[in-house]
Amino acid sequence: MWRKLLSLNTRYIYLAIVVMVVIPVILKVPLPTSPSEPTQKLFDHIDTLEAGDGIWFFLDTRPATTAIHRPQLHVLLHHCFSKGIKVVGFNPLAPEATGMGRPFIQEIAVQYGKQEYTDWAYMGYTPAGLAVFNAMSKDIKGLYSQDVTGKAFDEIPVLQQFRKYSDVGLVITLAGLKTPGYWVRYAQTPYKFPFASGVTGPMIADQFPFLNAGQMVGMMGGILGAAEYEGLLKSNNIRKQFGIASASMFVQTVVHYILVAIIILANIATFIINKQDEKDRQTRDVARARIDSGIE
Amino acid sequence: MEIVSLWVIAFFSLCIFSYLYRNNPFYKFAIHVILGLMVGYMFLQQVLIGLEQLVVSPILEELGQPSPDPFDILIQRVLPLLVASLIFTIFVPEQRWLSRIPIGLLLGYGMGYMLTKSLEADVFKQLNATLTQSIAVISGDSIFRSRWPAWGQFLPGLSALTVIVLTIFYRFRMQHPTIRTIIYIALSLFILSLADSIMILVGVLAVLSYFFFSFERRGLVEEVSRVGLVFMMVYFGAVFGNTVLTRVQIFIGQVDFLVFEWLGGTWQALFGG
Amino acid sequence: MKIPDSRLTLHRRSLCASRFLAAGPRLLVIVLSLFCLVGIALEAQQVTPKRVEVPTEMITVQPGQTLADLAEKYFGDRRQYKKFLEYNNIPDINSMKPGDRLQVPVNSTESTNLDQVAPNAEAGKPATPAAESTPTLSVAESTNQTTFDSLQTAEIEAVLELAPPTEVKANDVPNDAIKKGRGAIIITWTAPEDTTNLKGYHVWRQAMPDGDFEKITKKPLKSSNSDYLDKTATGGQSYVYQVASVGGEGASGAPGVAEVVSVASKPAIAQGNWYNTKKSYLLLTIIVFSIISLYYMDRGMSGKDMFIRRIAALDTIEEVVGRAAEMGRPAMFVAGNDDPDTGSTMAAFSVFESVANYAVVTQTEVVVPVQKPIVDQVLRSSLRNIFTLAGRPDLFNEEDVTYEVDNQPAFIGIIGDNMAKYNPASVFYFGDFTYESMVFAEMGNNVGAVQVAGCENPKQTAFFIVGCDYCLIGEELFAAGAYLKRDVVQMATLLAQDRIKILAFLALLLGILISIFNPGGGNLVLDFLTF
Amino acid sequence: MQTALPIILCSLTCLVLIISHFIPHEANTVVFNQIKGNWYAVIKVAGYAIATLAVLRSHIRRLQARTTDWQYSAVALVCFLVFPLTYLFDNIRENNGLFVTTTFSDSDITDTSVLRDATVQLEPVTGETYSGKVFKIDGKKRRLTVKLDLAISDLGKSGQSLRIGEQSLQLSLGETTIIPSKLMPVKRRGLFFQGLGRPLSIKKDGVVTSWVYDNVVSPLDTTMFALVAFYICSAAYRSFRVRNFEAGVLLATGIIVMLVNSPPTSLIWDGAFPAKTAVDQFFVDKALINLKDWLLAVPGQAASRAILIGGALGLVTQSLRVLFGIERSWLG
């Protein structure tokens, strides 16, 4: 039985993974998570904003991390649109992300019946490099003459009231690159506005200094952060059901635990089998010795 | 159009995933489609556009000028083109060696660039970072010193000294196991008495010594390099375990797309549900 | 037929290396060190030029004063008054008015003047007329006239209260280049003895032959700082700088504020430098590195034994190829996803040479799918030559080395297809890899191949360690070529590398010991490591 | 000769690059950019050209020889044509004709987007007058490209006549006319090379091209990436075995990190060891998270640093071999 386990065809493992992933994702089986402190703080900050306030979000990421930043952006948008907060998105530091922002917002905006240009807008990329940090403290019109759809700046009402850091209630960067450090250093420290970040798993550890220094009002750490935020949305009756993030956290947990389990099992199996082989060898030797003695 | 693109994306994704079962015609088809596309894309972007940007349009611009400078055109545009086109002698068996000239230039450029860059950015900067960290910890106060300030001052120096002296003894005089244990104790004491960055320093030294090629792995070198190996294994294990999360997340995103956007979108398009 | 031993063919190849060795490397090292020396020398004399520590001053023409008087006062010769005209480029002598500021032409180009003035500057006392004649009006500078008496009063109080900064020097900033025609000049000075009522400094600049002084500091610099970096100097243009100590409510820059200026003795020219003195350590390291490797090369050529310890993963390569031979299945070699002109791909080239040698000796087919262009050219001709050297050019098949596609996912897919198609018994991954490392390793494992991997990138090495049977870590990849070929000349470089590594090792130890036993003190190792 | 010449050239280039690293002078950067911009890039282009030839040739051979899977070679050859054709198609449809690129000074107007619907008059010295419309506006560089209403047929002579000599371009926006500050030479674009002046940015260039790219090529990247999820699990299952001490360490750290990465673990941990006193909190609370972070931050960082240093030294040695001309495996 142990040997069968060791000589297990990998296809079964693949099948198991497919089952473990697909079913919970379809059923959206949620993993209720207890919110960690940074996520709680971020939620509280957005909760304090009034209807008509605005937040800026920045997609400093690549399409490869869509699976992490899409849920993060979605929970934010759910929270904002349900409270009537207006949203403007940019990706001035990551040209690859230009295609990502607008569809992400549209998915949620239709659920709340929010109009583009009046309730939200996506501005896309502008080749200003690190100069954006300074320029956005004055007026984003200096950076953008039109939005990602090519609509002129002056014809987009939502932009007219949120033109610099001091106009918005929160600036949050969804970062797959090393940009949160830049934001804190070049933008938040000199111009002093509420700032937060949503980052991928490996980057979480780097954010704590900023959080402790109060340079970030909160942080969403990886997909887990998004899941915690969904839990908060649910517990505050902002959304009825959990989203993809909680579901994927459930999937992650299952996959991880089962993986660990089979690894340990396989090790036990190897251990036992080695023991058995040892015993067999000894018995064989004894038998051979007896035979030899018999011959003697 | 939306539905079409959804179906195209889904089809290709499923074709790729089907490889997990075995290599099959669908997979081969998908892969060869991508191969053809990308070869064409590279041909378009690298060769056609490259030629246009590097050679054709500069020459046209130059000729467009009131007083074109033939020397400029020859040296900067035509000559490189000629040298580069030597690579096509690969098809002429007896003149094949000529194709080595552009390759040689390319490699010389790359390696010359690499040499200074990696020496500066990786070797010097990394050593510097390691040293600065540990010095900051030593000259500043560490966990240990903040607790027992009285002899926390001396302990690092003391234990380090013990380690060095005993090591020298062990190396040259008496290879006694107790001395080795004492060395280990003093070493760990030394590390503990300082802080993580010293741990990093020790790790760096140990792993570096793992890569010594010119001594036999014997005695001290073996000990230290085994410590280095352990450090590396810790790193590899941690990296591996940490990557599972993100990779699985990517797959979850893919499944999410297939289930909700593809099937769901199709359903909505068909039945408007 | 008889196939010569692989080692033999390799040996022949390494011998042809030795011919070039006699002169080439030495020449290169000499060139490098010469460059280093010349550079250091050049910059050394450029960074600290000889200078005369005399503040040449601006004077104000008093009413009733003629140029001839001034000429007598400063040059001791009434006939020299034309100098004023040429240095202050005054076209018409009658256009001068009281209160005009004149620069006294003391200028390093005229060594005679300097020699006259230098001595009493050494005495610490500024040049004779500085005291009474330096005070001027910022109003007068901006060329609109004020009444004579206000000028007088301003002068008086200025004379009483302000002293000019001394030892004004303007130098080109070392180790920089002219960017977009703009260079950098650093102006340094030392504060006057009595800083009472010294609010700050203004820096003035005059483009050398003709051009008048313009103020290049918007608001006065704080009286604490004693240097100013002028980034707006046009490259190659020589400037005369003057630093004015601002008194009164100078911060506002209001009219009627007295300034006392003293002029840099030597005009400065912003220019690009030909040698970066900050990076001398780097160059020295390279030179030392090459000299050490030259030394070991000589030892190697003279037949001395050079010890390289066994590297387990590399020793297995031969038997892994042999395994493919026994099973009658091909061996596959993947040379990473990086350009040919990167180090890891170069290393892959030399590993491939050995793999191909073993393959030829054991008559194993080698399948080489390639992702990057030119890499396939190199590997193909390498394979061809090895077959030729082995005496079986007929066995060589052009299609063994195929350029597939330069796109990561597509290439991964093709590799998967090839794995299923050729069903290799042994697979080699050498070069640079990203996330495909895991995919390759598992694909290879699923067709039951024994896999050897070597990768520079630490992260991916983790996946290779888990996924492959044997794995080279870090720099073992670069050592592989030399190790496998047993080419003495290349092994020499390995030994040199080891020596350098030992140096780094000791440097770290030394640095840490220094800081342990003398905390907070200076640390020469750190100084060496920082640029 | 056949080996010496390439090697000498190679090591000379290497030497030049090394020395140029230590020369901050601006002339050096100019030369450097010359080498990189012309020689290096052009050689790369040649490499791509020959590689394309090679892959086409090999697939055609498979097709001729009817080897196994020859059908897929046919597929590949057909797909090879897709991008060039779509790109050509897009460009013919988008921008055939002549383009004048011009910069207008800041004093002209503040908001560039209003220029979008300006009508253009172009009067070259040759006398005839062309009308055109604004094709592309670059708000940052304040540069706009005007597309003249010309048929492809009179590309040739008009293109020539336009390029030489001064042109006066005036944008009339309603009743106001704007005279741009300076005019750049007219970009003449051949039939195939249309639009090739700018890099092929898939997002912007043409509907068909970007459609094919977005729906066929870029999803593949994500899918291949997703495959890793399976392979990483099977690899862990297969080769995480306690063979010796080091393998045990690998296994242990891997398992710890995996466990900590799944949120319930810390919940269970904190439930199992409730932190009562401050000391307990110091040792128990978030102990697993801290352990994982420590593993990655301290021993992990040490190892990765040392590997980086060693690898860089190895790279330097490799480059020295090339510099000395004793690394000859690239000669083949």
- Nearest by CB: A224 against D263, D267, D297: D263
- Here the CATH number for the domain that contains residue C104 is 2.60.40.10
Q: How far is CA D212 from each of CA B41, B162, C395, D83, rounded to the nearest angstrom?
A: 11, 69, 42, 8
* pLDDT band at residue D181 using 50, 70 and 90 as cut-offs: low
C282 domain-assigned: no
Q: What is the pLDDT of residue C412?
A: 94
Binary contact (C493, D326; C-beta < 8 A): yes
Q: At what angle do helices C280-301 and C488-517 cross, to 10 degrees?
A: 140
How much is the mean pLDDT over chain C? 74
Alpha helices in chain D (DSSP H): 4-20, 26-34, 41-65, 70-80, 82-94, 155-163, 207-212, 218-239, 245-261, 264-272, 278-284, 287-297, 299-324
Closest Cα partner for D83 from B34, B44, C410?
Answer: B44
* Whether B211 contacts chain D with CB within 8 A: yes
C167 domain-assigned: yes
Q: Chain B interface residues facing chain A, Cβ-Cβ under 8 Å?
A: 20-21, 242, 244-246, 248-256, 259
Distance from CA of A224 to the nearest CA of D (A): 8
**Each residue of D56-73: pLDDT tens digit?**
999 999 999 998 889 999
Residue type present at position B7 = W
Judging contacts by C-beta atoms under 8 Å, the chain C residues touching residue B30 are 413
Binary contact (B109, D6; C-beta < 8 A): no
Q: What is the pLDDT of residue C477?
A: 92
Judging contacts by C-beta atoms under 8 Å, the chain A residues touching residue B259 are 22, 25-26
Task: Give the mean pLDDT of C7-23.
Answer: 49
Domain that holds residue C238: 58-265
Q: How far apart are CA B137 and CA D200, in angstroms?
A: 51
* pLDDT band at residue B37 using 50, 70 and 90 as cut-offs: very high
Q: According to the per-residue pLDDT averaged within each range, which of B7-16, B49-58, B90-99, D238-247 is highest?
A: B7-16
Number of domains in chain B: 2
Quick one: what percent of chain B has pLDDT higher than 90?
23
Q: How far apart are CA C402 and CA D60, in angstroms?
A: 13
Q: What is the pLDDT of residue B45?
A: 81
Q: Say if residue B17's pLDDT is above 90.
A: yes
Q: Say if residue C501's pLDDT is above 60.
A: yes
Residues C326 and C241 in one domain: no
Q: What is the pLDDT of residue B217?
A: 78
Chain D adjacent subunits, 3+ CB pairs under 8 A: A, B, C
Domain A31-242 maps to which CATH number in 1.10.10, 2.60.40, 1.10.3470, 3.40.50?
Answer: 3.40.50
Q: What is the pLDDT of residue A161?
A: 87
Q: What is the pLDDT of residue D169?
A: 59
Please list, in sequence order, all residues whose beta carbon lies within 8 angstroms of the beta carbon of residue A77, skipping any fewer than 6 positions away: A87, A104, A105, A108, A109
C314 domain-assigned: yes
* Whether B95 contacts chain D with CB within 8 A: no
Residues 54-113 of D with CB under 8 A from C: 54-55, 58, 61, 68-69
**Each residue of D203-216: pLDDT tens digit?**
345 667 778 887 88
Judging contacts by C-beta atoms under 8 Å, the chain D residues touching residue A63 are 218, 221-222
Give the pairing type, strands C366-370 and C331-334: parallel
Chain A adjacent subunits, 3+ CB pairs under 8 A: B, D
Residues B92 and B180 in one domain: no
Binary contact (D297, A31; C-beta < 8 A): no
B113 domain-assigned: no
Binary contact (D38, B76; C-beta < 8 A): yes
Judging contacts by C-beta atoms under 8 Å, the chain A residues touching residue B20 are 11, 14
Judging contacts by C-beta atoms under 8 Å, the chain D residues touching residue A128 are 140
Binary contact (D251, B203; C-beta < 8 A): no
* pLDDT band at residue C54 using 50, 70 and 90 as cut-offs: very low
Q: What is the pLDDT of residue C51?
A: 38
Q: Which of C437, C512, C525, C530 to mutate to test the interface with B (most CBs of B within 10 A)?
A: C512
Of A144-148, D73-77, D148-152, give the lowest mean pLDDT range: D148-152
C11 domain-assigned: no
Q: Say if residue D155's pLDDT is above 50.
A: no
Domain ranges of chain D: 4-80, 97-188, 212-323
Task: Give the mean pLDDT of B65-77.
Answer: 77
Residue type present at position C315 = D
Q: What is the DSSP secondary structure assignment for residue D332, as one 8-state letter?
A: -
- Nearest by CB: C462 against B41, B42, B240: B240
Residues C382 and C474 in one domain: yes
Q: How far apart are CA C264 and CA C266, in angstroms?
A: 5
* Whether D39 contacts chain C with CB within 8 A: no
Is residue D227 classed exposed, middle or buried when 0-12, 13-18 and 19+ CB atoms within 10 A define those classes?
buried
Residue type present at position A185 = R
| Secondary structure, 3-state, C66-78 | CHHHHHHHHHCCH
Exposed e or buried b per residue across B123-157, where buried means at least 16 C-beta atoms within 10 angstroms of its C-beta: bbbbbbbbbbbbbebbeeebebbeeeeeebeebbb
β-bridge partners, A122: A89
Q: What is the pLDDT of residue D231?
A: 93
Q: What is the pLDDT of residue C115?
A: 36
Does residue B84 contact residue D42 with C-beta atoms inside 8 Å? Answer: yes
Q: Say if residue D34's pLDDT is above 80.
A: no
- The residue of chain B with its CA nearest to that of C347 is B111
Quick one: what percent of chain C has pLDDT higher than 90?
22
Of residues C155 and C27, more confidently modeled? C27
Q: How many beta-carbon pairs under 8 angstroms link B with C?
A: 173
Task: Give the mean pLDDT of B22-43.
Answer: 92
ipTM of the prediction = 0.83
Residue type present at position C372 = K
Does residue B50 contact residue C337 with C-beta atoms inside 8 Å? Answer: no
Q: How far apart are CA C383 and CA C117, in angstroms?
A: 78
Q: What is the pLDDT of residue D174?
A: 57
Q: Say if residue C9's pLDDT is above 60.
A: no
Binary contact (D139, A145; C-beta < 8 A): yes
Q: What is the pLDDT of residue C199?
A: 75
Of residues D187 and C434, more confidently modeled? C434
Please list, in sequence order, all residues whose beta carbon lies within 8 angstroms of the beta carbon of residue D199, skipping any fewer than 6 positions away: B45, B49, B53
Q: Say if residue D198's pLDDT is above 50.
A: no
Q: How far apart are CA C257 and CA C203, in angstroms?
A: 15
Terminal alpha carbon distance of chain B: 19
Q: How far apart are CA A198 and CA A202, in angstroms?
A: 12
Task: Give the mean pLDDT of D265-290.
Answer: 69
Q: How far apart are CA B238 and CA C471, in angstroms?
A: 18
Q: Say if residue D192's pLDDT is above 60.
A: no
Of the residues B46, B79, B107, the one at which a domain ends: B107
- The residue of chain A with its CA nearest to that of B239 is A202
Residues 233-252 of B with CB under 8 A from C: 235-237, 239-240, 243
Q: What is the pLDDT of residue A172?
A: 93
Both tokens of C461, joined, read 């090495």
Fold that domain D97-188 belongs to in CATH = Elongation Factor Tu (Ef-tu); domain 3 (2.40.30)
Q: Say if residue C259's pLDDT is above 90.
A: no
Q: Which of A10, A31, A143 to mutate to test the interface with D (most CBs of D within 10 A)?
A: A10
Terminal alpha carbon distance of chain A: 40
B269 domain-assigned: no
* pLDDT band at residue D160 using 50, 70 and 90 as cut-offs: very low
Does residue B232 contact residue D253 with C-beta atoms inside 8 Å? Answer: no
Residues C260 and C355 in one domain: no
Q: Say if residue A296's pLDDT is above 60.
A: no
DSSP characters over D296-325: HHTHHHHHHHHHHHHHHHHHHHHHHHHHHT
Does residue C86 contact residue C80 with C-beta atoms inside 8 Å? Answer: no
Does residue D171 contact residue D134 with C-beta atoms inside 8 Å? Answer: yes
Judging contacts by C-beta atoms under 8 Å, the chain D residues touching residue B3 are none
- Nearest by CB: C309 against B116, B124, B216: B216
How much is the mean pLDDT over chain A? 86
Residues C331 and C392 in one domain: yes
Q: What is the pLDDT of residue D84?
A: 85
Task: Give the mean pLDDT of B143-157.
Answer: 56
* Whether C188 contacts chain B with CB within 8 A: no
Q: According to the per-residue pLDDT averaged within each range, which of B218-222, D156-160, D301-305 is highest?
A: D301-305
* Whether C286 contacts chain B with CB within 8 A: yes
Binary contact (D9, B104; C-beta < 8 A): yes
B262 domain-assigned: no
Q: Say if residue A111's pLDDT is above 70.
A: yes
**Each residue of B202-213: pLDDT tens digit?**
889 999 989 888
* pLDDT band at residue D55 using 50, 70 and 90 as cut-offs: very high
Judging contacts by C-beta atoms under 8 Å, the chain C residues touching residue B142 are none
**Each residue of B232-242: pLDDT tens digit?**
999 999 999 98
Q: How far apart are CA C461 and CA C437, in angstroms?
A: 8
Q: What is the pLDDT of residue D52?
A: 93
Residue type present at position C484 = L
* Whether D242 contacts chain B with CB within 8 A: no
Please list, in sequence order, all residues whose beta carbon lies within 8 angstroms of the beta carbon of residue D97, skipping any fewer than 6 positions away: D147, D148, D149, D150, D151, D152, D155
Does residue B82 contact residue D39 with C-beta atoms inside 8 Å? Answer: no
Judging contacts by C-beta atoms under 8 Å, the chain A residues touching residue B251 are 17, 21
C128 domain-assigned: yes
Task: Give the mean pLDDT of C445-458.
Answer: 91
**Each residue of A149-194: pLDDT tens digit?**
778 888 889 988 888 898 899 999 998 888 888 898 888 888 889 9
Q: How far apart are CA C467 and CA B194, in angstroms?
A: 37
Quick one: what percent of chain B has pLDDT higher than 70?
85
- Nearest by CB: B109 against D17, D300, D306: D17
Does residue B137 contact residue D75 with C-beta atoms inside 8 Å? Answer: no
Residues B122 and B244 in one domain: yes
Q: What is the pLDDT of residue D179?
A: 57
Task: Give the mean pLDDT of C491-510.
Answer: 89
Exposed e or buried b per residue across A178-212, where buried means at least 16 C-beta atoms within 10 angstroms of its C-beta: ebbbbbbeebbeebebbbbbbbbbebbeebeebbe
Q: Say if residue A207's pLDDT is above 50.
A: yes
How much is the mean pLDDT over chain D? 74
B265 domain-assigned: no
Number of domains in chain C: 2
Q: What is the pLDDT of residue C120?
A: 37
* pLDDT band at residue D193 using 50, 70 and 90 as cut-offs: very low
Residues B236 and B125 in one domain: yes
- Nearest by CB: A263 against D116, D237, D297: D237
**DSSP E strand boundaries for C92-163:** 101-103, 136-137
**Each residue of C344-399: pLDDT tens digit?**
999 999 999 999 999 988 888 999 999 999 999 999 999 998 998 888 888 888 88
DSSP characters over D226-250: HHHHHHHHHHHHHH---SSHHHHHH
Domain ranges of chain A: 2-17+252-295, 31-242
Binary contact (D313, C475; C-beta < 8 A): yes
Residues B124 and B216 in one domain: yes
C500 domain-assigned: no
Both tokens of C51, joined, read 């200078």
C38 domain-assigned: no
**Each residue of D12-22: pLDDT tens digit?**
999 988 988 88
Residues C248 and C117 in one domain: yes
DSSP characters over C26-45: HHHHHHHHHHHHHHHHHHHH
Of A22-36, C56-70, C278-292, give the lowest mean pLDDT range: C56-70
Q: Say if residue C119's pLDDT is above 50.
A: no
Binary contact (A67, B245; C-beta < 8 A): no
- The residue of chain A with its CA nearest to that of D111 is A145
- The residue of chain A with its CA nearest to that of D214 is A99
Judging contacts by C-beta atoms under 8 Å, the chain B residues touching residue C418 are none
Binary contact (C20, D227; C-beta < 8 A): no
Residues 160-179 of D with CB under 8 A from B: 163-164
Q: How far apart are CA C294 and CA C23, in angstroms?
A: 11
**Each residue of C176-233: pLDDT tens digit?**
777 777 788 888 888 777 766 777 788 888 777 777 777 787 777 777 777 888 877 8
**Each residue of C310-334: pLDDT tens digit?**
888 888 998 999 999 999 999 999 9
Domain that holds residue B54: 2-107
Q: How far apart are CA C241 and CA C261, in angstroms?
A: 10
Task: Give the mean pLDDT of C138-161.
Answer: 41
